[in-house]
Structure 1
């Protein structure tokens, strides 16, 4: 499927890849994958993490390149997600269970993933997703990403 991606889909995957690639090496390490999963409160042990990375690492380099990432992620990333799947992911961001993702929650997730953003960058990201301009991301606004 990776070869049949639209330019917009490829860019979405590049943006996601860049979040994983916290050291900007152009490769995703096992540690970086672990950091993202931890930030999303996804419990995975070291053996499971190694197996997960190994399934993506088709060239056996010990790192996940962008093409490998695309191959694996495009199959599930662009499928239609059920409302329950989306609510589960939304809940990972909505730490206080308010029904909204607020700037502090967005910043917390990014920090847990090893990404430090200035307040202005977090505000710009939030604003780009905040359709009704109320300063927070509702579930309906979140769903529009998918």
Structure 2
């Protein structure tokens, strides 16, 4: 999958890789991986950490290179969502069950997420997602976000 990444996805993974690669060697060591996982409050014992590195280290160099990192991380970072997952997410936005997300619903969901937007900002967001110009977001338009 790492070869089918877009330039933007590859850059996101490069940025993440650079955070892991604290000594800027171009490789992630077992210690560096352990430090990041610890910072993320992911608890692994030494044996589990070693197993994770071995699983990621396909060229058996003892460290994780960028391509190895991409191979593992892209599968979870850029996972395609099932239609069922997307429909469940759409239903969270479509509060009146009309089959569409309208400006008021979009504003309500954003507010619940702690994001306050002016009416003009909500309208602009809606317009950017609304490809057929009917002032509402259909499921098909919503799916294109993912």
CA drift of 1:18 comes to 0.2
How many residue pairs get aligned? The number is 88
User: Please, what is the CA RMSD of the aligned residues?
Assistant: 2.3
Q: Aligned equivalents of 2:116 and 2:54: distance in 1?
A: 39
Q: Which has the higher contact order (CA 8 A, sep 6+)?
A: 1
Match of 1:50?
Answer: 50
Where in structure 1 do 4 or more consecutive aligned residues deviate above 6 Å? Answer: none
Q: Which TM-score applies when normalising by structure 2?
A: 0.55
Q: Aligned equivalents of 1:19 and 1:76: distance in 2?
A: 18
Q: Aligned equivalents of 1:33 and 1:131: distance in 2?
A: 37
Q: After alignment, is 73-82 or 8-17 more displaced?
A: 73-82
Match of 1:64?
Answer: 64
Q: Aligned equivalents of 1:48 and 1:76: distance in 2?
A: 19
Does 2:33 align with 1:33? yes
Q: Which TM-score applies when normalising by structure 1?
A: 0.55
CA drift of 1:131 comes to 9.1
Q: Aligned equivalents of 1:20 and 1:131: distance in 2?
A: 33
Unaligned runs of 5+ in 1: 83-98, 101-129, 133-145
Q: Aligned equivalents of 2:50 and 2:116: distance in 1?
A: 39
Q: Aligned equivalents of 1:131 and 1:22: distance in 2?
A: 36
Unaligned runs of 5+ in 2: 86-112, 118-145
User: Which of the two has higher C-alpha Rg?
Assistant: 2
